[in-house]
Copies of this chain bind each other. A is one copy, B any other.
Amino acid sequence: MSDGPDAMVRRRRLAPEARREQIVDAAVCYFAEVGLSGTTRDLAKRAGITQALLYQYFRSKADLLEAVFARVYLDRMSPHWPALITDRSRPLRERMLTFYAEYSGAIFSYEWLRIFMAAGLAGEALNRRYLDHVRDLLLAPLLEEIRFAARHNAQPEMEDLWNLHGGIIYLGIRRHIYHLPTPDDVMPVIERAIDRFLAGFAIGERA
């Protein structure tokens, strides 16, 4: 057992902010991997600190999980998406492609998808709040845009948009929840799905 100079993991005192960040980072990674019922001890071991220290920064495990949720969800929702979606100076197809490129880039991560799904199973209210947000601020405006573009044809309903959305999200679920092989680049698949969707409402036939 040679303790090289680098192997020395002496106790390091960090600024509270930095330490807290480090704990939340490790917690996001840990709980995404093992599920929300992972133990504080294992988490501490992985974070390279003692279990007791967790309780210096969080009152309880539930409190820590709150921080994990906040970290995972916050700032994944770009504030410029609503404006992007409703910007009629750009073709609708282009807006949708840009939006879903950015959206999938934001949430197709191992941590996000697994923690989101685990939170859903655990009955966390956060899921519903997040998806209400998606519906009200993203899909509802998008529906309006599509309806406007298809104003002389069949009109899509919100459920049709959820269907498009779900087909795209399912790519991430297959990859990160089920560990199934998926294309490295998801955009071609998403692009074809969007084109089929728009064509289904006779949009973009000649424009």
Contact = CB atoms under 8 A, between A and B. Distances in A.
| Chain copies in complex | 2
Contacts of A122: 35
A200 B203 CA distance: 12
B178 A131 contact: yes
Interface stretch (A18-26, A53-61, A69-77, A161-169): A161-169
21 contacts: A117-B121, A117-B177, A118-B121, A121-B121, A123-B179, A127-B177, A128-B178, A128-B179, A159-B189, A160-B193, A163-B167, A163-B189, A166-B166, A166-B167, A166-B171, A166-B173, A166-B174, A173-B173, A196-B200, A199-B199, A199-B200
Contacts of A46: none
B177 A120 contact: yes
A200 to B, nearest CB: 3
A158 B146 CA distance: 27
Contacts of A114: 121
Interface string A186-207: 0001001101110110000000
A186 to B, nearest CB: 9
Interface string A122-164: 1100011001000000000000000000000000000110111
B171 A169 contact: no
A183 B158 CA distance: 11
Contacts of A193: 160, 163
A170 B159 contact: no
Contacts of A128: 178-180
In the complex, the 9 A-B pairs of residues with the closest C-beta atoms, listed nearest first: A166-B170, A167-B167, A196-B200, A37-B37, A163-B167, A120-B177, A166-B167, A159-B189, A163-B193
